[in-house]
Amino acid sequence: MSAALCIAAAFFVLIIARWVYNWRNPICKGVLPPGSMGWPLLGETLKFFSPSTTFDVHPFVKERMKRHGPIFRTSLVGRPIIVSTDSDLNYYIFQQEGQLFQSWYPDTFTEIFGRQNVGSLHGFMYKYLKNMVLNLFGPEALKKMLPDVEQAATRKLKRWSSQKSVDMKEATASLIFDLTTKKLISHDPEKSSENLRENFVAFIQGLISFPVDIPGTAYHKCLQGRKKAMKMLKSMLEERRAKPRAHQSDFFDYVLQELGRKDTILTEPIALDLMFVLLFASFETTSLALTLAVKLLAEHPVALKELTEEHEAIVRKRENPDSALTWSEYKSMTFTFQIINETVRLANIVPGIFRKALQDVNFKGYTIPAGWGVMVCPPAVHLNPSRYRDPLEFNPWRWEGFELNGATRNFMAFGGGMRFCVGTEFTKVQMAVFLHCLVTKYMWQGIKGGDILRTPGLQFPNGYHVQLSEKFKPTEKPTTYVKR
Protein backbone atom coordinates (compact mmCIF):
# COMPACT_ATOMS: atom_id res chain seq x y z
CA MET A 1 0.00 0.00 0.00
CA SER A 2 2.83 2.41 0.90
CA ALA A 3 4.56 1.65 -2.41
CA ALA A 4 1.36 2.44 -4.30
CA LEU A 5 1.01 5.74 -2.41
CA CYS A 6 4.59 6.63 -3.23
CA ILE A 7 4.03 5.89 -6.91
CA ALA A 8 0.80 7.93 -6.91
CA ALA A 9 2.53 10.83 -5.15
CA ALA A 10 5.45 10.70 -7.58
CA PHE A 11 3.04 10.62 -10.52
CA PHE A 12 1.16 13.62 -9.07
CA VAL A 13 4.41 15.56 -8.59
CA LEU A 14 5.41 14.69 -12.17
CA ILE A 15 2.09 16.02 -13.50
CA ILE A 16 2.45 19.24 -11.49
CA ALA A 17 6.06 19.68 -12.62
CA ARG A 18 5.05 19.12 -16.25
CA TRP A 19 2.21 21.62 -15.88
CA VAL A 20 4.52 24.26 -14.37
CA TYR A 21 7.11 23.64 -17.12
CA ASN A 22 4.50 24.03 -19.87
CA TRP A 23 3.16 27.19 -18.22
CA ARG A 24 6.57 28.80 -18.10
CA ASN A 25 7.55 27.60 -21.58
CA PRO A 26 4.53 28.14 -23.86
CA ILE A 27 4.45 26.39 -27.23
CA CYS A 28 5.10 28.71 -30.15
CA LYS A 29 5.70 28.03 -33.85
CA GLY A 30 8.24 30.85 -33.96
CA VAL A 31 10.29 32.79 -31.42
CA LEU A 32 8.38 34.16 -28.46
CA PRO A 33 9.44 37.55 -27.09
CA PRO A 34 11.57 37.15 -23.95
CA GLY A 35 9.97 37.37 -20.51
CA SER A 36 8.52 35.36 -17.66
CA MET A 37 5.09 33.82 -17.27
CA GLY A 38 5.33 33.96 -13.47
CA TRP A 39 3.41 31.53 -11.30
CA PRO A 40 0.80 29.21 -12.86
CA LEU A 41 -2.61 30.89 -13.12
CA LEU A 42 -1.49 33.88 -11.02
CA GLY A 43 1.26 34.85 -13.46
CA GLU A 44 2.78 38.23 -12.62
CA THR A 45 -0.54 39.83 -11.71
CA LEU A 46 0.47 40.93 -8.20
CA LYS A 47 3.50 42.83 -9.49
CA PHE A 48 1.40 44.43 -12.22
CA PHE A 49 -1.02 45.82 -9.63
CA SER A 50 1.67 46.95 -7.17
CA PRO A 51 1.38 50.70 -6.40
CA SER A 52 3.77 53.34 -7.71
CA THR A 53 4.00 57.03 -6.75
CA THR A 54 5.67 58.53 -9.80
CA PHE A 55 4.73 59.89 -13.22
CA ASP A 56 7.31 57.54 -14.68
CA VAL A 57 6.56 54.26 -16.44
CA HIS A 58 5.20 51.77 -13.91
CA PRO A 59 8.04 49.70 -12.35
CA PHE A 60 6.45 46.48 -13.62
CA VAL A 61 6.92 47.62 -17.22
CA LYS A 62 10.13 49.61 -16.74
CA GLU A 63 12.03 46.74 -15.09
CA ARG A 64 11.04 44.33 -17.83
CA MET A 65 11.92 46.79 -20.57
CA LYS A 66 15.45 46.99 -19.15
CA ARG A 67 15.67 43.20 -18.81
CA HIS A 68 13.96 42.03 -22.00
CA GLY A 69 13.66 45.00 -24.37
CA PRO A 70 10.62 46.87 -25.73
CA ILE A 71 8.56 43.73 -26.48
CA PHE A 72 8.17 41.06 -23.80
CA ARG A 73 5.81 38.35 -22.63
CA THR A 74 4.07 37.92 -19.29
CA SER A 75 0.87 36.52 -17.80
CA LEU A 76 -1.84 38.61 -16.18
CA VAL A 77 -5.04 37.34 -14.50
CA GLY A 78 -4.51 33.90 -15.99
CA ARG A 79 -3.90 34.97 -19.60
CA PRO A 80 -0.65 34.96 -21.63
CA ILE A 81 0.07 38.48 -22.85
CA ILE A 82 2.63 40.22 -25.04
CA VAL A 83 3.43 43.71 -23.75
CA SER A 84 4.46 46.24 -26.40
CA THR A 85 6.33 49.43 -25.56
CA ASP A 86 7.56 49.59 -29.15
CA SER A 87 5.95 52.49 -31.06
CA ASP A 88 6.26 50.66 -34.40
CA LEU A 89 4.51 47.55 -33.11
CA ASN A 90 1.84 49.67 -31.41
CA TYR A 91 1.11 51.47 -34.66
CA TYR A 92 1.04 48.16 -36.56
CA ILE A 93 -1.43 46.67 -34.06
CA PHE A 94 -3.80 49.63 -34.42
CA GLN A 95 -3.56 49.60 -38.20
CA GLN A 96 -4.28 45.85 -38.38
CA GLU A 97 -7.50 46.07 -36.32
CA GLY A 98 -9.95 43.49 -37.67
CA GLN A 99 -7.27 41.81 -39.81
CA LEU A 100 -4.56 40.46 -37.52
CA PHE A 101 -5.81 41.84 -34.20
CA GLN A 102 -9.12 42.64 -32.57
CA SER A 103 -10.16 44.56 -29.48
CA TRP A 104 -9.99 42.39 -26.39
CA TYR A 105 -9.88 42.81 -22.63
CA PRO A 106 -9.28 40.26 -19.84
CA ASP A 107 -12.35 38.45 -18.53
CA THR A 108 -12.33 40.58 -15.38
CA PHE A 109 -12.74 43.76 -17.43
CA THR A 110 -15.51 42.14 -19.44
CA GLU A 111 -17.34 41.25 -16.22
CA ILE A 112 -17.07 44.87 -15.10
CA PHE A 113 -18.05 46.63 -18.33
CA GLY A 114 -20.50 44.02 -19.60
CA ARG A 115 -20.05 41.20 -22.08
CA GLN A 116 -21.62 43.26 -24.87
CA ASN A 117 -19.83 46.53 -24.17
CA VAL A 118 -18.61 48.55 -27.14
CA GLY A 119 -14.97 47.56 -26.52
CA SER A 120 -15.82 43.87 -26.93
CA LEU A 121 -17.83 44.22 -30.12
CA HIS A 122 -16.36 44.04 -33.61
CA GLY A 123 -17.08 44.67 -37.27
CA PHE A 124 -20.41 46.15 -38.31
CA MET A 125 -21.85 46.18 -34.77
CA TYR A 126 -18.94 48.26 -33.48
CA LYS A 127 -19.23 50.73 -36.38
CA TYR A 128 -22.97 50.97 -35.78
CA LEU A 129 -22.49 51.86 -32.10
CA LYS A 130 -19.67 54.26 -32.95
CA ASN A 131 -22.00 56.17 -35.30
CA MET A 132 -24.61 56.27 -32.54
CA VAL A 133 -22.10 57.84 -30.15
CA LEU A 134 -21.00 60.36 -32.78
CA ASN A 135 -24.57 61.68 -32.78
CA LEU A 136 -23.91 62.69 -29.18
CA PHE A 137 -20.24 63.68 -29.30
CA GLY A 138 -19.81 64.84 -32.91
CA PRO A 139 -18.77 68.44 -33.74
CA GLU A 140 -22.28 69.69 -34.49
CA ALA A 141 -23.63 68.30 -31.23
CA LEU A 142 -20.71 69.77 -29.27
CA LYS A 143 -21.29 73.23 -30.75
CA LYS A 144 -24.81 73.14 -29.30
CA MET A 145 -23.49 71.75 -26.03
CA LEU A 146 -20.80 74.43 -25.54
CA PRO A 147 -23.08 76.92 -23.69
CA ASP A 148 -24.25 74.18 -21.31
CA VAL A 149 -20.66 73.21 -20.48
CA GLU A 150 -19.75 76.86 -19.79
CA GLN A 151 -22.83 77.49 -17.66
CA ALA A 152 -22.22 74.35 -15.60
CA ALA A 153 -18.55 75.25 -15.02
CA THR A 154 -19.42 78.86 -14.13
CA ARG A 155 -22.10 77.79 -11.67
CA LYS A 156 -19.93 75.19 -9.94
CA LEU A 157 -16.84 77.42 -9.69
CA LYS A 158 -18.94 80.16 -8.11
CA ARG A 159 -20.17 77.71 -5.49
CA TRP A 160 -16.72 76.28 -4.83
CA SER A 161 -15.21 79.73 -4.32
CA SER A 162 -17.46 80.22 -1.28
CA GLN A 163 -15.99 77.13 0.39
CA LYS A 164 -12.82 77.04 2.47
CA SER A 165 -11.52 74.07 0.49
CA VAL A 166 -12.67 71.95 -2.43
CA ASP A 167 -11.35 68.58 -3.60
CA MET A 168 -10.81 69.13 -7.32
CA LYS A 169 -10.99 65.43 -8.18
CA GLU A 170 -14.31 64.93 -6.44
CA ALA A 171 -15.71 68.31 -7.52
CA THR A 172 -14.81 68.03 -11.22
CA ALA A 173 -16.08 64.43 -11.31
CA SER A 174 -19.40 65.63 -9.92
CA LEU A 175 -19.53 68.51 -12.41
CA ILE A 176 -18.85 66.31 -15.44
CA PHE A 177 -21.07 63.45 -14.28
CA ASP A 178 -24.05 65.76 -13.75
CA LEU A 179 -23.52 67.37 -17.16
CA THR A 180 -23.10 64.04 -18.95
CA THR A 181 -26.05 62.30 -17.30
CA LYS A 182 -28.23 65.27 -18.21
CA LYS A 183 -27.25 64.94 -21.88
CA LEU A 184 -27.45 61.14 -21.90
CA ILE A 185 -30.52 60.39 -19.81
CA SER A 186 -31.88 63.77 -18.57
CA HIS A 187 -30.90 62.76 -15.04
CA ASP A 188 -31.20 65.47 -12.39
CA PRO A 189 -29.40 64.43 -9.17
CA GLU A 190 -31.26 67.07 -7.15
CA LYS A 191 -34.66 65.66 -8.13
CA SER A 192 -33.76 61.96 -8.13
CA SER A 193 -34.40 59.83 -5.07
CA GLU A 194 -31.42 57.59 -5.92
CA ASN A 195 -27.77 58.61 -6.21
CA LEU A 196 -26.60 57.20 -9.55
CA ARG A 197 -23.08 58.55 -9.19
CA GLU A 198 -22.61 56.80 -5.83
CA ASN A 199 -22.76 53.48 -7.64
CA PHE A 200 -20.12 54.59 -10.13
CA VAL A 201 -17.80 55.68 -7.31
CA ALA A 202 -18.00 52.16 -5.86
CA PHE A 203 -17.40 50.82 -9.35
CA ILE A 204 -14.31 52.98 -9.92
CA GLN A 205 -12.64 52.08 -6.62
CA GLY A 206 -12.36 48.46 -7.72
CA LEU A 207 -11.92 48.89 -11.46
CA ILE A 208 -8.16 48.46 -11.43
CA SER A 209 -7.78 46.10 -8.50
CA PHE A 210 -6.87 42.46 -8.04
CA PRO A 211 -9.81 40.43 -9.45
CA VAL A 212 -11.04 38.52 -6.41
CA ASP A 213 -14.84 38.48 -6.16
CA ILE A 214 -15.14 38.01 -2.39
CA PRO A 215 -17.26 40.26 -0.15
CA GLY A 216 -15.12 43.05 1.26
CA THR A 217 -12.70 43.25 -1.69
CA ALA A 218 -12.53 46.30 -3.96
CA TYR A 219 -13.32 44.11 -6.97
CA HIS A 220 -16.49 42.75 -5.32
CA LYS A 221 -17.63 46.30 -4.48
CA CYS A 222 -16.92 47.23 -8.08
CA LEU A 223 -19.19 44.49 -9.41
CA GLN A 224 -21.90 45.39 -6.92
CA GLY A 225 -21.67 49.04 -8.00
CA ARG A 226 -22.13 47.96 -11.61
CA LYS A 227 -25.19 45.85 -10.75
CA LYS A 228 -26.85 48.74 -8.93
CA ALA A 229 -26.05 51.24 -11.70
CA MET A 230 -27.34 48.86 -14.38
CA LYS A 231 -30.53 48.28 -12.38
CA MET A 232 -31.12 52.04 -12.24
CA LEU A 233 -30.45 52.46 -15.97
CA LYS A 234 -32.81 49.60 -16.84
CA SER A 235 -35.49 51.12 -14.62
CA MET A 236 -35.06 54.50 -16.33
CA LEU A 237 -35.26 52.85 -19.76
CA GLU A 238 -38.50 51.05 -18.87
CA GLU A 239 -39.98 54.25 -17.42
CA ARG A 240 -39.07 56.18 -20.57
CA ARG A 241 -40.49 53.42 -22.75
CA ALA A 242 -43.77 53.54 -20.82
CA LYS A 243 -43.97 57.32 -21.19
CA PRO A 244 -42.32 58.21 -24.51
CA ARG A 245 -41.52 61.85 -25.27
CA ALA A 246 -42.88 63.74 -28.22
CA HIS A 247 -39.46 65.06 -29.21
CA GLN A 248 -35.98 63.57 -28.98
CA SER A 249 -34.15 65.46 -26.23
CA ASP A 250 -31.39 63.15 -25.02
CA PHE A 251 -29.42 60.04 -25.93
CA PHE A 252 -31.94 57.76 -24.21
CA ASP A 253 -34.62 58.99 -26.63
CA TYR A 254 -32.32 58.20 -29.54
CA VAL A 255 -31.63 54.70 -28.13
CA LEU A 256 -35.35 54.03 -27.71
CA GLN A 257 -35.96 55.18 -31.27
CA GLU A 258 -33.31 52.72 -32.50
CA LEU A 259 -34.70 49.88 -30.35
CA GLY A 260 -38.18 50.53 -31.81
CA ARG A 261 -37.12 50.15 -35.43
CA LYS A 262 -38.19 46.89 -37.11
CA ASP A 263 -34.83 46.36 -38.80
CA THR A 264 -32.70 47.32 -35.77
CA ILE A 265 -29.67 45.28 -34.75
CA LEU A 266 -29.55 47.03 -31.38
CA THR A 267 -30.62 45.02 -28.33
CA GLU A 268 -31.54 46.28 -24.89
CA PRO A 269 -28.50 44.65 -23.16
CA ILE A 270 -26.12 46.23 -25.69
CA ALA A 271 -27.85 49.60 -25.30
CA LEU A 272 -27.58 49.48 -21.49
CA ASP A 273 -23.92 48.39 -21.59
CA LEU A 274 -23.22 51.25 -24.02
CA MET A 275 -24.90 53.74 -21.69
CA PHE A 276 -22.92 52.40 -18.74
CA VAL A 277 -19.56 52.69 -20.55
CA LEU A 278 -20.37 56.21 -21.80
CA LEU A 279 -21.25 57.41 -18.31
CA PHE A 280 -18.07 55.96 -16.86
CA ALA A 281 -15.68 57.01 -19.60
CA SER A 282 -17.01 60.55 -19.93
CA PHE A 283 -16.50 61.66 -16.35
CA GLU A 284 -13.83 59.57 -14.64
CA THR A 285 -11.01 60.02 -17.14
CA THR A 286 -11.78 63.72 -17.75
CA SER A 287 -11.94 64.57 -14.04
CA LEU A 288 -8.55 62.92 -13.50
CA ALA A 289 -7.04 64.92 -16.37
CA LEU A 290 -8.61 68.18 -15.17
CA THR A 291 -7.39 67.66 -11.60
CA LEU A 292 -3.87 67.00 -12.83
CA ALA A 293 -4.00 70.07 -15.10
CA VAL A 294 -5.03 72.34 -12.20
CA LYS A 295 -2.26 70.88 -10.02
CA LEU A 296 0.42 71.24 -12.72
CA LEU A 297 -0.61 74.81 -13.52
CA ALA A 298 -0.40 75.77 -9.85
CA GLU A 299 3.13 74.32 -9.78
CA HIS A 300 4.21 76.03 -13.03
CA PRO A 301 3.37 79.77 -12.84
CA VAL A 302 4.91 80.58 -16.24
CA ALA A 303 2.55 78.17 -17.98
CA LEU A 304 -0.38 79.49 -15.93
CA LYS A 305 0.50 83.06 -16.90
CA GLU A 306 0.55 82.26 -20.63
CA LEU A 307 -2.69 80.29 -20.37
CA THR A 308 -4.38 83.15 -18.50
CA GLU A 309 -3.21 85.69 -21.08
CA GLU A 310 -4.65 83.57 -23.89
CA HIS A 311 -8.08 83.45 -22.27
CA GLU A 312 -8.11 87.07 -21.15
CA ALA A 313 -7.31 88.06 -24.74
CA ILE A 314 -10.38 86.12 -25.90
CA VAL A 315 -12.56 88.10 -23.47
CA ARG A 316 -11.01 91.46 -24.46
CA LYS A 317 -11.78 90.90 -28.14
CA ARG A 318 -15.52 90.60 -27.50
CA GLU A 319 -17.94 93.47 -27.85
CA ASN A 320 -19.58 92.24 -24.67
CA PRO A 321 -17.05 90.73 -22.20
CA ASP A 322 -19.84 88.77 -20.50
CA SER A 323 -21.05 87.05 -23.66
CA ALA A 324 -20.86 83.26 -23.93
CA LEU A 325 -17.99 81.34 -25.48
CA THR A 326 -18.29 80.71 -29.21
CA TRP A 327 -17.05 77.71 -31.16
CA SER A 328 -14.51 79.86 -33.02
CA GLU A 329 -13.15 81.12 -29.67
CA TYR A 330 -12.85 77.54 -28.48
CA LYS A 331 -10.96 76.52 -31.62
CA SER A 332 -8.59 79.47 -31.19
CA MET A 333 -7.26 78.24 -27.81
CA THR A 334 -3.84 77.20 -29.13
CA PHE A 335 -1.89 77.18 -25.87
CA THR A 336 -4.82 75.57 -24.06
CA PHE A 337 -4.63 72.56 -26.37
CA GLN A 338 -0.88 72.39 -25.69
CA ILE A 339 -1.70 72.28 -21.98
CA ILE A 340 -4.25 69.51 -22.58
CA ASN A 341 -1.84 67.45 -24.72
CA GLU A 342 0.92 67.73 -22.15
CA THR A 343 -1.41 66.91 -19.26
CA VAL A 344 -2.80 63.74 -20.83
CA ARG A 345 0.72 62.72 -21.94
CA LEU A 346 1.90 62.83 -18.33
CA ALA A 347 -1.37 61.53 -16.85
CA ASN A 348 -1.37 58.28 -18.84
CA ILE A 349 -4.82 57.61 -17.43
CA VAL A 350 -5.11 54.44 -19.53
CA PRO A 351 -2.08 52.29 -18.59
CA GLY A 352 -2.76 49.66 -21.24
CA ILE A 353 -4.79 49.16 -24.43
CA PHE A 354 -5.63 45.51 -25.06
CA ARG A 355 -5.92 43.57 -28.29
CA LYS A 356 -5.88 39.86 -29.21
CA ALA A 357 -3.95 38.21 -32.04
CA LEU A 358 -6.31 36.51 -34.51
CA GLN A 359 -3.47 34.50 -36.04
CA ASP A 360 0.26 34.08 -35.54
CA VAL A 361 1.87 37.47 -36.15
CA ASN A 362 5.57 37.90 -36.91
CA PHE A 363 7.20 41.22 -36.04
CA LYS A 364 10.88 42.13 -35.68
CA GLY A 365 11.90 38.48 -35.37
CA TYR A 366 9.30 37.60 -32.73
CA THR A 367 6.05 35.67 -33.04
CA ILE A 368 2.85 36.68 -31.28
CA PRO A 369 0.85 33.42 -31.11
CA ALA A 370 -2.79 33.35 -32.22
CA GLY A 371 -5.15 33.81 -29.28
CA TRP A 372 -2.62 35.61 -27.10
CA GLY A 373 -3.50 38.98 -25.61
CA VAL A 374 -1.43 42.04 -26.51
CA MET A 375 -1.11 45.05 -24.25
CA VAL A 376 -0.07 48.30 -25.92
CA CYS A 377 1.59 50.44 -23.23
CA PRO A 378 1.02 54.19 -23.85
CA PRO A 379 3.08 55.39 -20.82
CA ALA A 380 6.24 53.79 -22.22
CA VAL A 381 5.72 55.73 -25.47
CA HIS A 382 4.72 59.03 -23.85
CA LEU A 383 7.67 58.96 -21.43
CA ASN A 384 10.30 57.78 -23.89
CA PRO A 385 13.32 60.14 -23.57
CA SER A 386 14.31 59.51 -27.19
CA ARG A 387 10.94 60.97 -28.28
CA TYR A 388 10.30 63.56 -25.57
CA ARG A 389 13.12 65.60 -24.08
CA ASP A 390 12.98 65.47 -20.25
CA PRO A 391 9.81 63.37 -20.49
CA LEU A 392 8.84 63.72 -16.81
CA GLU A 393 8.83 67.52 -17.04
CA PHE A 394 5.61 69.45 -17.59
CA ASN A 395 6.43 71.37 -20.76
CA PRO A 396 3.38 72.41 -22.83
CA TRP A 397 5.64 74.35 -25.22
CA ARG A 398 6.92 71.04 -26.62
CA TRP A 399 3.59 70.87 -28.52
CA GLU A 400 4.06 74.24 -30.22
CA GLY A 401 3.33 73.90 -33.93
CA PHE A 402 1.73 70.46 -33.56
CA GLU A 403 -1.89 69.94 -34.51
CA LEU A 404 -3.15 66.58 -33.31
CA ASN A 405 -6.40 65.34 -34.82
CA GLY A 406 -5.76 61.69 -34.08
CA ALA A 407 -3.22 59.27 -32.70
CA THR A 408 0.41 59.07 -33.85
CA ARG A 409 3.18 56.56 -33.26
CA ASN A 410 4.31 58.62 -30.28
CA PHE A 411 1.00 59.89 -28.88
CA MET A 412 -1.93 57.63 -28.08
CA ALA A 413 -3.60 59.19 -25.04
CA PHE A 414 -6.97 58.67 -26.76
CA GLY A 415 -6.26 55.28 -28.31
CA GLY A 416 -5.50 54.68 -31.95
CA GLY A 417 -6.61 53.21 -35.25
CA MET A 418 -10.28 52.65 -35.96
CA ARG A 419 -10.97 52.63 -32.20
CA PHE A 420 -9.61 56.12 -31.62
CA CYS A 421 -11.83 57.50 -28.85
CA VAL A 422 -14.96 59.13 -30.31
CA GLY A 423 -15.29 61.21 -27.14
CA THR A 424 -11.90 62.91 -27.57
CA GLU A 425 -13.32 66.25 -28.70
CA PHE A 426 -15.90 66.14 -25.89
CA THR A 427 -13.07 65.70 -23.38
CA LYS A 428 -11.16 68.63 -24.89
CA VAL A 429 -14.25 70.83 -24.88
CA GLN A 430 -14.87 70.15 -21.20
CA MET A 431 -11.24 70.73 -20.22
CA ALA A 432 -10.79 73.87 -22.34
CA VAL A 433 -14.06 75.47 -21.22
CA PHE A 434 -13.41 74.68 -17.56
CA LEU A 435 -9.90 76.15 -17.77
CA HIS A 436 -11.32 79.24 -19.50
CA CYS A 437 -13.81 79.85 -16.69
CA LEU A 438 -11.18 79.10 -14.06
CA VAL A 439 -8.26 81.27 -15.18
CA THR A 440 -10.35 84.29 -16.26
CA LYS A 441 -12.27 84.59 -13.00
CA TYR A 442 -10.41 82.76 -10.23
CA MET A 443 -7.12 82.23 -8.46
CA TRP A 444 -6.32 79.11 -6.47
CA GLN A 445 -3.75 77.51 -4.24
CA GLY A 446 -3.25 73.94 -3.13
CA ILE A 447 -4.23 73.23 0.47
CA LYS A 448 -3.55 69.50 0.85
CA GLY A 449 -3.35 66.26 -1.11
CA GLY A 450 -2.23 66.17 -4.71
CA ASP A 451 -0.19 62.98 -4.30
CA ILE A 452 -0.51 60.59 -7.22
CA LEU A 453 -0.69 56.81 -7.10
CA ARG A 454 -0.60 54.31 -9.94
CA THR A 455 -2.01 50.80 -9.46
CA PRO A 456 -1.33 50.91 -12.46
CA GLY A 457 -4.08 53.44 -13.34
CA LEU A 458 -3.80 57.04 -12.12
CA GLN A 459 -5.36 57.94 -8.76
CA PHE A 460 -5.34 60.81 -6.28
CA PRO A 461 -5.55 58.82 -3.01
CA ASN A 462 -5.75 61.98 -0.86
CA GLY A 463 -7.62 64.05 -3.42
CA TYR A 464 -6.32 67.49 -4.41
CA HIS A 465 -7.79 70.16 -2.16
CA VAL A 466 -7.56 73.78 -3.26
CA GLN A 467 -8.86 77.13 -2.10
CA LEU A 468 -10.51 79.20 -4.82
CA SER A 469 -10.92 82.97 -4.70
CA GLU A 470 -12.53 85.29 -7.24
CA LYS A 471 -10.40 87.72 -9.21
CA PHE A 472 -11.34 91.40 -9.27
CA LYS A 473 -12.43 92.72 -12.64
CA PRO A 474 -10.22 95.50 -14.04
CA THR A 475 -13.01 98.02 -13.38
CA GLU A 476 -13.37 96.89 -9.79
CA LYS A 477 -11.24 97.78 -6.83
CA PRO A 478 -10.89 95.65 -3.73
CA THR A 479 -12.74 96.95 -0.70
CA THR A 480 -10.35 98.68 1.73
CA TYR A 481 -10.92 99.18 5.40
CA VAL A 482 -9.47 102.21 7.19
CA LYS A 483 -8.60 101.96 10.84
CA ARG A 484 -10.39 104.51 13.03
Cα separation, 277 vs 124, whole angstroms: 19
Tell me if 340 sits within 8 A of 288, measured CB to CB. no
Tell me if 239 sits within 8 A of 253, measured CB to CB. no
377 is in an annotated binding site: no
Dihedral over alpha carbons 59, 60, 66, 72 (to 10 degrees): -160
Tell me if 250 sits within 8 A of 136, measured CB to CB. no
- Alpha-carbon distances, residue 465 vs 51, 126, 303, 431, 448 (angstroms): 22, 40, 21, 18, 5
Cβ neighbours around 262 below 10 Å, total: 4
Helix ranges restricted to H, 186-260: 196-205, 218-242, 251-260
Tell me if 34 sits within 8 A of 72, measured CB to CB. yes
Tell me if 291 sits within 8 A of 464, measured CB to CB. yes
- Beta carbons within 8 Å of 35's beta carbon, 6+ residues apart: 64, 68, 72, 73, 74, 83
The neighbouring-strand residues paired with 84 are: 71, 376
The neighbouring-strand residues paired with 373 are: 81, 356
3-state SS, residue 265: coil
User: What is the β-pairing status of strands 373-376 and 79-84?
Assistant: parallel
Q: Is 467 exposed, middle or buried (0-12, 13-18, 19+ CB in 10 A)?
A: middle
Tell me if 429 sits within 8 A of 142, measured CB to CB. yes
Please provide residue 224's backbone torsions phi and psi, each rounded to the nearest 5 degrees.
Answer: -65, -40
> Which of 106, 110, 140, 52 lies closest to 451, judged by CA?
52
What are all long-range contacts of 119-128, with beta carbons under 8 Å and residues at least 24 apart? Answer: 119/277, 119/419, 121/270, 122/98, 123/98, 124/265, 125/265, 125/270, 126/419, 128/265, 128/266
**What residues are designated binding site?**
421
**What residues are designated binding site for heme?**
421
